[in-house]
Amino acid sequence: MTYRDNTKVIKIGNKVIGGGNPIMIQSMTNTPTEDVAATVAQIKRLEAAGCDIIRCTVPTKEAALAVKEIKKQITIPLVADIHFDYKMAIAAMENGADKIRINPGNIGSKERIEAVVSCAKERNIPIRVGVNSGSLERNLVEKYGGVTAEGLVESALDKIGIIEDFGYDNMVVSIKSSNVMLCVKAHELLAKQCAYPLHVGITEAGTVWGGNIKSSVGLGIILNEGIGDTIRVSLSGDPIEEIKTAKAILRTLDIRKGGIEVVSCPTCGRTKIDLIDLANKTETLVQNYPNLNIKVAVMGCAVNGPGEAKEADIGIAGGTGEGLLIKHGEVVKKVKEDELLNVLKEELDNWK
């Protein structure tokens, strides 16, 4: 039994989270939401990569109106991201948003929050209550002597209480920080006190390289402790990279099955082929087979390659200008180096 097994079940469009349901992968578009064509195109790319729920910023009335048109052309739930203007939250819901993300502390007066909650209640739209370390209230910073996990949790529970006081409990909660271990501690504290599904992520994690490391460490610890119902890997890069990393984290933790795992050996003096290029191309290739739950090995030499690839379902190992195709630890074919990737693709196309 884990924390996520006991969280409240929440319906977001055609998806269900909480109560032990599968963990959903989220991302956020970086196109202007008002540009319907560009936003829809990006959402479809993200969905094809494995995104389950998409979030779009709604800073203007035009963006809120665009939500209606975007929704007509996509199949995954859309979350409207609101920062300051409560009217945009209402407009987004009126135009079909499946969920809204707000920080009640940024919305303003309780009357404005109540107006947002009333609209959500009328349409049974879930509210994601978000608290970030960068916007933690001054009184809590002073109370705890800085930004702390305890302060984040107190802030989140306060915001939850405000919405509950208006008679609404259709909520998802997120508490984020760019400090990995602070974020971990905050989730450990909150999970013991909160029955709502938790959206987990390391905010402002950084570039594709650095952000992947921070997100993998932070999300890995939190998810492995049984905490988290939806996740986002926040990267300064193509949102597709967020989905790829999120899928890899879930697969590595044995939380989600499906998709091809690529293992490749480090280069050494025995390597006679361009292993780095081959491994990268293989990793790109396997993204086209999301329904294959297998392991592919890419090895740099024909000496140890077959042995090292024994645990993989299929593998390729390079030699001098040539390479081997290996299936279930057995060498089945020798081909030229420039044919290795095509041979692998053919095998994956016909995998049974």
Superfamily of domain 261-349: Sulfite Reductase Hemoprotein, domain 1 (3.30.413.10)
Residue 276 burial by Cβ neighbours in a 10 Å radius (0-12, 13-18, 19+): middle
Check pLDDT > 90 for residue 150: yes
Check pLDDT > 70 for residue 305: no
Distance separating the N- and C-terminal Cα atoms of the chain: 35
Question: At which residue do the structure tokens 């909160």 appear?
Answer: 194
Mean pLDDT of the chain: 91
Q: How far apart are CA 256 and CA 22, in angstroms?
A: 8
3-252 carries CATH number 3.20.20.20: yes
Residue 351: count of CB within 10 angstroms of its CB: 13
- pLDDT at residue number 204: 77
Question: At which residue do the structure tokens 């990569």 appear?
Answer: 49
Burial annotation 182-208 (CB, 10 A radius, 16+ → b, else e) = bbbbbbbbbbeebebbbbbbbbbbbeb
> What are the extents of the domains in the chain?
3-252, 261-349
Residues 128-146, mean pLDDT to the nearest whole number:
91
Please give the structure tokens belonging to residue 146.
């800085």
Residues 98-118, mean pLDDT to the nearest whole number:
90
Are 33 and 56 in contact by the 8 Å Cβ rule? The answer is: yes
Q: How far apart are CA 253 and CA 149, in angstroms?
A: 25
